[in-house]
Amino acid sequence: MPTVYLETSFVSACITDRTDAGSVYRRQVSLDWWAGQRRRHDVHVSDVVIAELSHPAYPHREVALAFVEDARVIPVTEEMAGLAEILIRERVMPGPLGGDALHVAAATIARMEYLLSWNVRHLANPNKLQHLGIVCLRLGFAPPCIVTPENLWET
């Protein structure tokens, strides 16, 4: 069963109550993926995702946390933080240390096959994937395939 790391933007898309066209599209695609694909994947989140969803300012945090309660939680380690710092230093991910860089590092070190995200600026960005691959391979890691939900359908 393929392993998938759910990044915070995926969860946000699933629970949003925004009504603009982009949000409605991302919500529908995400919920379709969740309904049809979740059972075909081994789904994980990290402590970073839980922390972001738990923040007092996070909208609908109780709903968001309930949404991922069955996902396996990956504890963030010093090795993951170290990789995140390298990704920032190598300009693969933006600084400061946290968020995007830690998501990628956690998914990489935990050997996730996929990182599912709607963050197309810093994560699911085709222009960054080659650079990420080069940096990770140089360090002896295989990065996850970073995709949006519409690009991860198992039959």
Burial class of residue 81 (count of CB atoms within 10 Å of its CB; 0-12, 13-18, 19+): middle
Whole-model pTM: value is 0.92
Whether the pLDDT of residue 12 is over 70: the answer is yes
Domain with 105 in it: 3-151
Percent of the chain with pLDDT over 90: 81
The one-character DSSP state at 40 is G
Number of domains in the chain: 1
pLDDT digits 0-9 by tens, 44-72: 999 999 999 999 999 899 999 999 999 99
CATH code assigned at 111? 3.40.50.1010
Q: Which residues contact 22 (CB under 8 A, 6 or more apart)?
A: none
- The position carrying tokens 């998938």 is 4
